[in-house]
Amino acid sequence: MRIERDYDFVVDESTASKTRVDAFIASKVTELSRSALTGDDCQILINGKKAKKSDKVSPGDSVNLHFVADVFEKVEAEDIPLDILYEDQDMLVINKAQGMVVHPGAGNPNGTIVNALAFRYGQAFIEEMADECDVSRPGIVHRLDKDTSGVMVIALNARAHTSLSEQFQSHDIEKIYYAFCDGIFQKHEDDIECLLARDKNDRKLFAPVQQQRSFIIQGGLSAKRTAEIENEVYNDPKYRLGGSADRHQEGKYSKSHYEVVRQLPQAALVKVQIFTGRTHQIRVHMKYIGHPVIGDVMYNNRLSRFPGASLMLHSSILEINHPTTGERMRFEAPLPERFSELEQKLRES
């Protein structure tokens, strides 16, 4: 299915000066990702002049987008079982399995949640979502990383998609995760706040922006000195976290609150509530304070300490307003077996 759409915006005062135009458009049209603007048929105008998606905008600029895309051409309906926590005519809530990708993409054309949705709800669902809301990910209003398990909500019609998307965008939801994190925590609980931007050397990674060292490193392994831990966290040559994000980017505000549930000899089970929904937020935040998530191959360079461990991050609780009734609803996915198995190993070590 081929679609064409036109969008017109005026950059408001709340937008930082010299913001990339693709980032600005993605913030205004939640169903469009920045990568979706790459097609040759997509045209961006800034103040009436043709622009590239990397060009910058400032308050007062006019932005016009002519968007063309072939929608869902490669999505195949697949009979993939889903662990369903709740379902009605407006939304589906699942307990996503670790290792399952949310939507098709490079390297993952099949076996995704979207493939399962195409089978479960049929072509009518695909066509409604393509025509009315998400042009590349039918029903998807938020994502979990491939190796993160847990609660995830999916919209089943355009109206529900709009309502749920607005709740996630305004953070009018409650999201609680559990993670096993490396090291001995000196603080039982605390807030983590910083600006996050893409790493300037590796666009797949995120990092606190330059000059974000104000957070006190808590300590970590074998009573290491603070200077050693700071060097490991901030100057890690492989992951470059902390002070190495693109200094030309403003970054996006992020906030998490963690609480240590059980401190074990080498690691801790940590409850994390996130108040913003930035990509890799918990993984970056825990690395930021010197306690990376166990099994995190992207942000943890201590993988040899826990051989064989997969990503120990689980979305446990999601609280949202029902898109039709407005009723506040709470969904919970119990901790998976990999958590109890790792805890047993830690207690025996």
* Averaged pLDDT, 121-132: 75
Residues 130 and 114 in one domain: yes
Residues 208 and 305 in one domain: yes
Evaluate whether residue 347 is within a structural domain.
Answer: no
The yes-or-no verdict on residue 141 having pLDDT over 60 is yes
Give, in degrees to the nearest 5, the angle at Cα 44 between 40 and 46. 155
The neighbour count for residue 181, using CB atoms within 10 Å, is: 26
Residues 181 and 200 in one domain: yes
- Looking at the structure of the chain, the number of domains it has is 3
The pLDDT score that the predictor gives to residue 235 is: 47
- Give the DSSP letter of residue 248: T
Evaluate whether residue 143 is within a structural domain.
Answer: yes
If residue 49 lies in a helix (H) or strand (E), which one and from where to where? strand 49-51
What is the band of 76 on the pLDDT scale with cuts at 50, 70, 90? confident
Q: Residues 251-273: pLDDT tens digits?
A: 788 899 999 999 998 999 999 99
Counting residues of the chain whose pLDDT is more than 90, the rounded percentage is 46
Residues 6 and 44 in one domain: yes
If residue 274 lies in a helix (H) or strand (E), which one and from where to where? strand 267-274
The domain that holds 9 is classified in CATH as 3.10.290.10
* Averaged pLDDT, 315-325: 97
Which residue carries 């999201």 as its tokens? 175
From the number of C-beta atoms within 10 Å of its C-beta (0-12, 13-18, 19+), residue 164 rates as buried
Would you give the distance in Å from CA 89 to the centre of its chain? 26
* Averaged pLDDT, 104-121: 85
The yes-or-no verdict on residue 89 having pLDDT over 50 is yes
Per annotation, catalytic residue among 134, 145, 182, 296: 145
* Contact partners, residue 133, CB within 8 Å, separation at least 6: 31, 155, 158, 161, 162, 165
The yes-or-no verdict on residue 239 having pLDDT over 70 is no
- Is residue 251 helix, strand or coil? coil
Residues 185 and 299 in one domain: yes
The domain that holds 215 is classified in CATH as 3.30.2350.10
Q: Residues 168-216: pLDDT tens digits?
A: 988 889 999 999 999 999 999 999 988 888 877 777 788 877 544 444 3
Residues 95 and 152 in one domain: yes
Could you tell me which residue, 267 or 5, shows the higher pLDDT?
A: 267
- Range in 25-39, 126-140, 197-211, 226-240 the model is least confident about: 226-240
The yes-or-no verdict on residue 224 having pLDDT over 50 is no
Last residue of a domain, one of 11, 35, 70: 70
Mean pLDDT value across the chain: 82
Of 241, 255, 267, 257, nearest to 185 (Cα)? Answer: 267
* Start-to-end C-alpha separation, the chain: 56
From the number of C-beta atoms within 10 Å of its C-beta (0-12, 13-18, 19+), residue 30 rates as middle
- Range in 118-127, 226-235, 258-267 the model is least confident about: 226-235
Residues 38 and 157 in one domain: no
Residues 183 and 300 in one domain: yes
The pLDDT score that the predictor gives to residue 16 is: 75
Residues 161 and 182 in one domain: no
Residues 153 and 251 in one domain: no
The pLDDT score that the predictor gives to residue 132 is: 54
Best-predicted range by mean pLDDT among 90-94, 244-248, 296-300?
90-94
Domain of 122? 84-169
The pLDDT score that the predictor gives to residue 227 is: 52
Which structure tokens are listed for 208?
A: 């606190």
The pLDDT score that the predictor gives to residue 106 is: 67
Evaluate whether residue 339 is within a structural domain.
Answer: no
Beta strand pairing status for 174-182 and 91-96? unpaired
Residues 301 and 181 in one domain: yes
Residues 52 and 108 in one domain: no
DSSP assignments along 71-121, one per residue: -STT---------EEEE-SSEEEEEEPTT--SS-BTTBSSSSHHHHHHHHH
- Range in 39-48, 153-162, 216-225, 308-317 the model is least confident about: 216-225
Q: Is 145 a catalytic residue?
A: yes
* CA separation for the pair 171, 108 (Å, rounded): 29
Evaluate whether residue 40 is within a structural domain.
Answer: yes
The pLDDT score that the predictor gives to residue 6 is: 84
pTM for this entry: 0.75
Q: Is 287 within 8 Å of 233 (Cβ atoms)?
A: yes
* Averaged pLDDT, 286-300: 92
